[in-house]
Structure 1
């Protein structure tokens, strides 16, 4: 049974009532971020119950030495992990000598927390009764500034309810933190300085091995009735912790507010020897503005984000909450300001998957950022891969490839492969194709070809070289084959001729050859530079073409479909509907051996290729493959329902598409996979956006123009979304009675709706 304690609301996540068993799940769901840093929704005050403390800084990681039973040549030496960073949110509170701790309190009443997605803040309130029957009311509001992304702010308010009390506030910083997920329990941080100055405190620390230098900082002030109480704090200092203690007597009904500004300055953005000065500059800005102005700035920043990226759904509050939750976390995780950063599958909400970059970014995330931001945001994601090209070449060399062949990593922080499961590291090579597809997808959508001669063509050459060398000529088949791979369906390892991988390989080579011709003709100086740098020859490209033109694709004439891999029909083909619910999920109930021999598919595999290359196939072909493969799909990857939602909608199966949509949009809110306590599924959230825009909206690029085939689930009255297409803003609204399009541009725009040409005029709404 799925969890259902989150109250349905169109703009907020709301939890009412304190239940200790929900704390870890809520810490994930109510997480905050601003692109540069993030934190789980841990309590500010002490909590002795079960909790997963987590604060994270974008781009700061540690190379945790690989731990495997035996070593294989080519294994990565470490798994890069996003680090639990020094904690700046902590505020210890005691009243009449008793520590505020919801786990040990005599009673907790009126507990409520809210994540206001519209305005970008998180609040928590409750009444607590101590063993001496003193009652306090607590209200806390916090946010991570979207305007000043090195800073966050907390307003923590305490009111004695039934008598006056002696209160002690101790806001603190703590670098004595550990990761939940470590291979060897090594220390990741070295603390070098702990100090305070007035009502400010600083901890300087750097990561071991990677030497990321940081300053964690705070400014803490007490107020009552909007006036600074001007109390001098007592320094409470340790080797890795520093607090500023304030003692005062507070009358019954009087509210005291602790306003705390905190955050990080990092050596990647500042002189590592002047991080404290940089922290002071941030705090001067924040305290000069004041908490209320910072909060107003936050509201305005999020209003601008939502103006472009919101999707509205009329008539289905849970669906509305689900899509906004997904869009909110995507915008918290990545803002596009820094091309050194990328999007981890858990974002800033947990440590699973190491916080690293996967192929998810290129396959699922780029469409969202292209359509809801300026194109430079998606371009920065592509630039990230170009900047790591030399590392991709090194990764391929470690596996025996040569002459500039590039294998992009399955998991990375800095371009180096750091995944240590052999069936992933060595075999899940289809990720290379996703990088090339993202370059194609970016150009197809934005019309910006400049990335390819500037950077992209070198990436494509490295990838094409890899596919050429990875293919083997089979005399038996008289075709090129690709052996020993794992496709997107990770429930099959070490298979031969995974159709999706082979199709990707052929397409990558063919499209690279097309771009070489195009760059040679239109950008001769870039062509000369690139060919000279890569030492590319006509003889080599002829060999590529030979591989692409003679690629083998497994096929069943009986079923008239492409086979997922050579041996798929050798399996016992029992569909998922015949599986007992007690056997699900199979990744938690079955041995790995049993899973590998089963026909069950973790996520779209052959159907992933039909999603990417929809225009290569007819609707009849899609229907045959969908009807064959979906019944074997257990959807135990968060990336699976969205692709199936889009394809079900393409086939006109809206009830099935809607079911898939609900699963992807509320995957975390309803905890379908029983793992939300570990963090959220950030990259699959981009797939949720695609489910509506590409699925129900039917948005495609056809012949260099936008095309729509709108449909609406019968559970909805209407839905609407905006997209930025080549610097023209288009608002699309769909209802049961039809669809309308509103253009924000200086000139007319031609689109296609249900295969008919529609001309849109600036500032006007056109029904179609």
Structure 2
């Protein structure tokens, strides 16, 4: 049974009532971020119940030494981990000498938590009766500034409501933190300096091994009934903690509040010797503006984001809440302003997957950022991979490839492979194809070809070289085969001739050569530079094309479909509907051996190929493969429902398309996979956007034109979205009677709707 405690609301995520069993799930769902840093929704005050603390800084990681029972040649030395950074949100709250702790209070009433997605802030309010019988009312609001990316702000207010009380606030910084996700329980941080002066505090520390230097800082201001309090703070210091204690007697019904300005300055952006002065500069700017003005600026920044990226749905509040939650988290996680950063599968909401970059970025996220931002944002994501090309070549060399062949990592922070499950590290090589496909997708959508001669062609050549070397010629089949792989469906390992892998390998080679010829013809200087750098010869190109043109694809004449891989039909073909629902999800109930022998598909695999290369196949081909594979798909990957939603919509199966959409949009809110306490599924959230725009809206790019085939779920009254197509801001409004297109900037745009050419003007 899915969780169902989030109040339906079109613009907010709301939790009413306090339940210790929900705390860790809510810490994930109510996470906040600003692209440079983020944090789980941990309580500011002390909480001794089950909790998963998490504050994270984009780009700061630790190489946690690989831990496996049996070492294999080629294993990476470490698994890259985003670090739980020093805690700056902490505020101990003491009422008449008793610590406020919701886990031990006599009673907690009127508890409400709200993540306001429209304006970009998190609030919490409650009434608590402590063991000393004092009842207080608490109101807290915090946000991470989009305007000042190193800054977070908290406003924490306490009102005694049944008696006078002596209230102590102790805002603190703590560098003595650890990751929940660690191989050896290492201490990741070393504290080197602490500083307290007046109402400010600073802790300097650096990561071991990677030597990222960070200053965690704070400044606090005390108010009584909204007016500045004259109470002076008392400085307190421990080995890895600094705090300031403010103590004041507060009459019943009066409100004592603390405003805390805090955050991180890092050696990613400053000289390591200047981190404290940089922090003081941030504090000076922030406190001169003040909490309320910073909050207004935050609202405006989010208004600007929503003006382009919002999808409005009329008539289905849960669907509306779901899509906005997904869009909000995507914008919190990645803003596109720093090409050194990328998008981890959990974003800033947890530590699973190490906060690293996966193929999810290229396969799922780039379409969202291309269409809702300036194209430079998506270009920065492509530049990230180009900057790591040398490391990708090194990764391939470690596995025995040569001559400039590149294998991009399954998991990375800095271009090095840092994943150590053999069936993924060595075998899930289809990720190389997603990198190449993103280059194709970017050019197709933006029309910006400049990336390819400048950077992209080098990437394409290196990937094509890998596929050339990875393929084996089978004398039995008289074709090239690719052996020992894991496709997108990770519930099958070490298979031969995975259709998706073979197909994208063939396409990668042909696409690389196609662009090689184009660059040779149209960008002579770039071509000469690239040939000199890569030492590519016509003989090698011919050998690559021989592999591509003679690739083997397993096929069933009986079913008239491509097989997911050799031997797929040898399995006991029991469909998902015939499974005992008590055994779902199977990854939490079955042994790995049983899963591997089953026909069950974790996520779109063959259908992933039909999604990417829809333009290569007829609609009846897609339908035949969808009908065969979907009944065996358990959708236990967050990346699965969106692809199926898009294809169901293409096939005019709107009830099924809507069901898949709702699952992907509310995957975390309703905790379908019963794991949301580990963090939210950020990269799959881009698939939710795709489900509406590409699925229901039917948006495609064909021959430099936008095409639409609009449909609408029967329970919706209408919906609308915007896309930035080659600097044309196109608004699409769809209801059951008609679809309306309008341009929001100057100019005109020719589009195709249900096969008919239409001119759209400002």
TM-score normalized by the length of structure 1:
0.99
In 1, distance between residues paired with 2:228 and 2:269?
Answer: 33
CA offsets per residue over residues 307-344 of structure 1, 9 Å max, x none? 00000000000000000000000000000010000000
Partner of 1:766: none
CA offsets per residue over residues 22-75 of structure 1, 9 Å max, x none? 000000000000000000000000001010000000000000000000110000
Name the stretch that deviates more: 745-754 or 301-310: 745-754
Partner of 1:26: 26
CA offsets per residue over residues 100-123 of structure 1, 9 Å max, x none? 000111111111010000000000
In 2, distance between residues paired with 1:132 and 1:421?
Answer: 52
Query: Equivalences for 1:632-647 in 2 at 5 Å?
Result: 632-647=632-647
Per the TM alignment, residue 701 of structure 1 is displaced from its structure 2 partner at its CA by: 0.2
CA offsets per residue over residues 464-507 of structure 1, 9 Å max, x none? 00000000001111110000000000011000000000000000
In 2, distance between residues paired with 1:268 and 1:641?
Answer: 37
- The reply to whether residue 487 of structure 1 matches residue 469 of structure 2 is no
In 1, distance between residues paired with 2:9 and 2:429?
Answer: 42
Partner of 2:293: 293
Partner of 1:157: 157
Partner of 1:689: 689
In 2, distance between residues paired with 1:552 and 1:627?
Answer: 23
Partner of 2:386: 386
In 1, distance between residues paired with 2:221 and 2:744?
Answer: 46
Partner of 1:455: 455
Query: Equivalences for 1:348-747 in 2 at 5 Å?
Result: 348-747=348-747
Partner of 1:130: 130
Partner of 2:115: 115
Partner of 2:274: 274
In 2, distance between residues paired with 1:202 and 1:231?
Answer: 21
In 2, distance between residues paired with 1:57 and 1:101?
Answer: 27
In 2, distance between residues paired with 1:45 and 1:758?
Answer: 58
Per the TM alignment, residue 744 of structure 1 is displaced from its structure 2 partner at its CA by: 1.9
Per the TM alignment, residue 459 of structure 1 is displaced from its structure 2 partner at its CA by: 0.4
Name the stretch that deviates more: 131-140 or 612-621: 131-140
Q: Secondary structure at the match of 1:636?
A: coil
In 1, distance between residues paired with 2:541 and 2:142?
Answer: 57
In 1, distance between residues paired with 2:308 and 2:413?
Answer: 30
- The reply to whether residue 203 of structure 1 matches residue 203 of structure 2 is yes
- The reply to whether residue 71 of structure 1 matches residue 104 of structure 2 is no
Q: Secondary structure at the match of 2:247?
A: strand
Partner of 1:262: 262
Per the TM alignment, residue 251 of structure 1 is displaced from its structure 2 partner at its CA by: 1.0
Partner of 1:10: 10
In 2, distance between residues paired with 1:149 and 1:758?
Answer: 43
Gaps of 5+ in 2: none
Per the TM alignment, residue 131 of structure 1 is displaced from its structure 2 partner at its CA by: 2.1
Per the TM alignment, residue 262 of structure 1 is displaced from its structure 2 partner at its CA by: 0.6
Per the TM alignment, residue 4 of structure 1 is displaced from its structure 2 partner at its CA by: 0.5
In 2, distance between residues paired with 1:643 and 1:604?
Answer: 7
Q: Secondary structure at the match of 1:328?
A: helix
Partner of 2:173: 173
In 2, distance between residues paired with 1:230 and 1:375?
Answer: 51
In 2, distance between residues paired with 1:302 and 1:744?
Answer: 19
Gaps of 5+ in 1: 763-768
CA offsets per residue over residues 685-741 of structure 1, 9 Å max, x none? 000000000000000001110000000000100010001001110000110111100
Aligned residue pairs, count? 762
In 2, distance between residues paired with 1:152 and 1:130?
Answer: 29
In 2, distance between residues paired with 1:149 and 1:268?
Answer: 13
Q: Secondary structure at the match of 1:341?
A: coil
Q: Secondary structure at the match of 1:443?
A: helix
Q: Secondary structure at the match of 1:26?
A: helix
Per the TM alignment, residue 602 of structure 1 is displaced from its structure 2 partner at its CA by: 0.4
In 2, distance between residues paired with 1:389 and 1:232?
Answer: 55
In 2, distance between residues paired with 1:407 and 1:133?
Answer: 63
In 2, distance between residues paired with 1:98 and 1:487?
Answer: 56
Partner of 2:53: 53
TM-score normalized by the length of structure 2:
1.00
In 1, distance between residues paired with 2:633 and 2:667?
Answer: 17
In 2, distance between residues paired with 1:176 and 1:119?
Answer: 33
Ranges of 4+ aligned residues in structure 1 off by more than 4 Å? none
Partner of 2:305: 305
Q: Secondary structure at the match of 1:393?
A: helix
CA offsets per residue over residues 216-242 of structure 1, 9 Å max, x none? 000001012332213221111011001
Query: Equivalences for 1:207-246 in 2 at 5 Å?
Result: 207-246=207-246
Per the TM alignment, residue 508 of structure 1 is displaced from its structure 2 partner at its CA by: 0.3
In 2, distance between residues paired with 1:239 and 1:394?
Answer: 42
In 2, distance between residues paired with 1:718 and 1:324?
Answer: 16
Partner of 2:186: 186
Q: Secondary structure at the match of 1:746?
A: coil
CA offsets per residue over residues 380-424 of structure 1, 9 Å max, x none? 000000000000000000000001000000000000000000000
Per the TM alignment, residue 76 of structure 1 is displaced from its structure 2 partner at its CA by: 0.5
In 1, distance between residues paired with 2:57 and 2:131?
Answer: 39
In 1, distance between residues paired with 2:22 and 2:173?
Answer: 26
In 2, distance between residues paired with 1:236 and 1:382?
Answer: 47
In 2, distance between residues paired with 1:552 and 1:70?
Answer: 33
Partner of 1:84: 84
In 2, distance between residues paired with 1:106 and 1:406?
Answer: 61
Q: Secondary structure at the match of 2:376?
A: helix
- The reply to whether residue 341 of structure 1 matches residue 341 of structure 2 is yes
Partner of 1:765: none
In 1, distance between residues paired with 2:418 and 2:102?
Answer: 40
Per the TM alignment, residue 745 of structure 1 is displaced from its structure 2 partner at its CA by: 2.9
In 1, distance between residues paired with 2:224 and 2:741?
Answer: 51
Q: Secondary structure at the match of 1:345?
A: coil
Per the TM alignment, residue 130 of structure 1 is displaced from its structure 2 partner at its CA by: 1.6
In 2, distance between residues paired with 1:152 and 1:726?
Answer: 35
Per the TM alignment, residue 583 of structure 1 is displaced from its structure 2 partner at its CA by: 1.5
Name the stretch that deviates more: 156-165 or 659-668: 156-165
Per the TM alignment, residue 363 of structure 1 is displaced from its structure 2 partner at its CA by: 0.1
Q: Secondary structure at the match of 1:458?
A: helix
Q: Secondary structure at the match of 1:520?
A: helix
In 1, distance between residues paired with 2:230 and 2:211?
Answer: 38
In 1, distance between residues paired with 2:486 and 2:373?
Answer: 34
Q: Secondary structure at the match of 1:113?
A: strand
In 1, distance between residues paired with 2:657 and 2:609?
Answer: 18
